[in-house]
Chains A and B, each alone.
Chain A
Amino acid sequence: MKISRRDFIKIGAKGLLAGVAFSSVPFLLQGLVKNSSRAIAADGGGLERHNWGFICDNEKCIGCGRCVVACKKENKVPWEPEFNRTWVERYIITEDEKIYVDSPNAGRDGFQDFPPKLDVPESEVWKSFFVPKLCNQCHRPPCVTVCPVGATYQTHDGVVLIDQDHCIGCRYCIQACPYGARFFLPELGVVDKCTWCYHRINRGLIPACVEVCPVGARIFGDLNDPAGTLKTTLAQKRFYVLKPELGTEPKVSYIGFEKGVY
């Protein structure tokens, strides 16, 4: 049999294609299998049995910033104020209902006196309060939708995590997050965010920021636990979530002052 050059290329190309298609099958299967095996928590239970939730109580928060410090220490977040998994904002509303917000050093060093930048006297303040912020671990997270390589994902207990070994550092997720909860780590070239102290909550502990809050302004718990503090508090109190109109369904609920808090 005589094979022309053209035929050779043709046959070769077909053979190569078929070989490639065939040899990729085990990889595909492997991917499926990997998907179905879930991680096991340190306390022996599967990670998926919870549905974590969070409450921030603006009426209790005193703006001491211990949460910000604890978060940075617990999660090795860079100490500089540009990198925050959690932070505290101060709202000052004047008698004529102008709203001033600040967060010096993200609240890490607490809050000093009356904000120096504000040009209204303290006597004209109508009301003022602190608002702790952190990742809302949205039920429908826009950051996960936009990640081009699927490096960020939602766990089965509702926490949004980043695989930093997979993240390419395009920062689309930072743009997509309506709450400013994500930030870029220039040294690693990847994005970082609050995990609700995934390593603590899977050991049966509470996140570090909740642990150190001196006034109980942060409550962490399981939304599936009807008798838990989280669920009972939500049952008794009026609460709201941030930017509900965006349809992200945040899982951090806020108690207290709402107007102008985004």
Chain B
Amino acid sequence: MTHLKRAGALLAVVLLAAFVVPRIIPVPDDLISFGFHKVDEAANEQFWASLPMQYANPTVCNDCHQDKSSSWTLGDHRAVSCETCHSPANDHIAGKGLPAVDTSRDFCGTCHSSLISRPANFPQIDIGEHGGQNTCVPCHNPHDPREGMPPRLPHSMEGRENCQSCHNPSEPLVTVPPRVPHTLEGRENCTSCHGTTEARPTALPRIPHSLEGRDNCLLCHNTSAIKPFPENHTGRTTDTCRNCHQPAG
């Protein structure tokens, strides 16, 4: 059966040539690595882990730009990273040019133009109507967009439908809660300018104790008393405390 032996030998040679030899002879590492299911995972992980970055983060920006970041940290854009608008900063940090800023209406509109799909409590404007066709920056400081704007309400609107019951513009004696400093003519809807707290909840401190037998708040909380109210509360009377502060629980 010589022919079968020769065929077997030929087969062995072919198998060696096809499978084994490419592994034994030196071949480029990236073409063939040895073993079943083998990428060099550790090396590849390290490759991905050590790629260069384009985006830094606000902490890095703050190192040089405190002037901007001080107003940014207080404003409504404080949750927006610098590079969201200024584009990636690492080239700039490395001294290669300034991050580009797009100040067009359309750019602000990417977030703030009114869309039915956007969460209702997110500030949106009709990009075609709002403020003519001017750019946004002259009116809105992008780092603190509500700077110079009517103040937000510090309290929730729940159970307080009638603003004037507290903030009466025609009764100069009542100075606290703050009096409305402007006329109400043509300004029926207060919340159209004075944003509600839903967008920025600033919970007012609740009264930590029961009110039983404690009708006179000022007994304890007057300026000269044992636990005075804050300095900006001048002119408050016992009647007005519970306009804002509710007992806990």
The answer to whether B116 and A42 touch across the interface, beta carbons within 8 angstroms, is: no
Contact of B53 among A91, A125, A205 (CB under 8 A): A205
Q: Which of B57, B110, B115, B116 contacts A66 (CB 8 A)?
A: B110
Question: In the complex, what distance in Å separates the CA atom of A109 from the CA atom of B51?
Answer: 26
Shortest C-beta distance, B94 to chain A (Å), equals 15
Task: Point out the residue from A10, A24, A74, A129 that lies within 8 Å of B5, measured CB to CB.
Answer: A10
Cα of A130 to Cα of B55 in the assembled complex, Å: 24
Pick from B13, B44, B79, B117: contact of A13, CB below 8 A. Answer: B13
B44 — which chain A residues lie within 8 A by C-beta? 153, 161, 163, 165-166
A74 touches B88 (CB 8 A): yes
The distance from the CB of A154 to the nearest CB of chain B, in whole angstroms, is: 9
Please provide the 10 A-B residue pairs with the shortest distance between their CB atoms, ordered closest to farther.
Answer: A31-B35, A150-B37, A110-B110, A199-B51, A128-B117, A163-B39, A214-B80, A39-B46, A202-B49, A198-B48
**In the bound complex, what is the Cα–Cα distance between A170 and B41 (angstroms)?**
20
A selection of 29 A-B contacts at a CB cut-off of 8 Å is A20-B24, A30-B34, A35-B41, A35-B42, A39-B45, A39-B49, A41-B49, A62-B115, A64-B110, A70-B55, A70-B84, A73-B55, A74-B53, A74-B55, A114-B115, A114-B116, A128-B116, A149-B39, A153-B39, A163-B44, A165-B44, A166-B39, A166-B44, A195-B48, A198-B51, A199-B51, A200-B55, A211-B55, A211-B81
Within 8 A of B (CB), among A190-213: 195, 198-200, 202-203, 205-206, 208, 211-213
- A92 / chain B contacts, CB cutoff of 8 Å: 116-117
Complex CA gap A213/B122 in Å reads: 14
Known A17-B12, A70-B55, A129-B117: A38·B42 in contact at CB below 8 Å: yes
Q: Closest B residue to A256 by CB, please name it.
A: B119
In the docked arrangement, what's the CA distance between A215 and B118, Å? 11
Q: CB-CB < 8 A to A161: which residues of B?
A: 44-45, 48
Q: Which residues of A from 7 to 24 have beta carbons under 8 Å from B?
A: 9-10, 13, 16-17, 20, 23-24
Closest to B90 in A: A74
A199/B48 contact (C-beta < 8 A), A20-B16, A205-B53, A208-B54 known: yes
Decide: A42 and B54 in contact? CB cutoff 8 A: no
Cβ-defined contact, A6 with B119, below 8 A: no
Is A247's beta carbon under 8 Å from chain B? no
A37 to B84, CA, bound (A): 38
B147 cross-chain contacts in A, Cβ below 8 A: none
Assess the B117–A211 pair: CB atoms within 8 A: no
Asked if A90 is an interface residue, CB under 8 A from chain B, the answer is: yes
Q: Does B220 interact with chain A (Cβ within 8 Å)? A: no
CB of B30 within 8 Å of the partner chain: yes
Per the bound structure, the CA–CA distance linking A251 and B40 in Å amounts to 24
A76 to chain B, nearest CB (A): 8
Chain A 169-195 interface residues, beta-carbon cutoff 8 Å to B: 195
What residues of B have a CB within 8 angstroms of the CB of A16 in the complex?
A: 12, 16
Chain B contacts for A97, CB-based, 8 A: none
| A111 at interface by CB-CB < 8 Å | yes
List the A residue with the shortest CB-CB distance to B122: A62
Whether A60 sits at the interface, judged by CB under 8 Å, is yes
- Whether A141 is near chain B, meaning CB under 8 Å from some CB there, is no
Of the listed residues A16, A59, A122, the one surrounded by the most CB atoms of chain B closer than 10 A to its CB is: A16
Determine the distance from Cα of A204 to Cα of B44 in the docked complex, in whole angstroms: 19
Q: Does A34 contact B (CB under 8 A)?
A: yes
Chain A 125-160 interface mask (CB, 8 Å, partner B; 1/0): 100111000000000000000000111010100000
B213 close to A (CB within 8 Å): no
How many angstroms from the CA of A109 to the CA of B110 in the assembled complex?
Answer: 8
- B159 CB-CB contact with A under 8 Å: no
Asked if A47 is at the interface of the complex by the 8 Å CB criterion, the answer is yes
The reply to whether the CB of A53 lies closer than 8 angstroms to some CB of chain B is no
B24 cross-chain contacts in A, Cβ below 8 A:
20, 23-24
B189 within 8 A of partner (CB):
no
Closest to A66 in B: B84
- Contact: B34 with A31, CB < 8 Å? yes
Are B55 and A208 in touch, CB under 8 angstroms? yes
A22-48 CB mask vs B (1 if < 8 Å, else 0) is: 011001101100110111111000010
Interface assignment of A250: CB less than 8 Å from any CB of chain B? no
Q: Closest CB-CB distance, A142 to chain B, in whole Å?
A: 16
Distance between B62 CB and nearest chain A CB, rounded to angstroms: 14
Given the known interface contacts A23-B24, A199-B52, the answer about A151 and B83 at a Cβ–Cβ threshold of 8 Å is no
> Among the listed B41, B83, B115, which residue makes an inter-chain contact with A211, where contact means beta carbons less than 8 Å apart?
B83
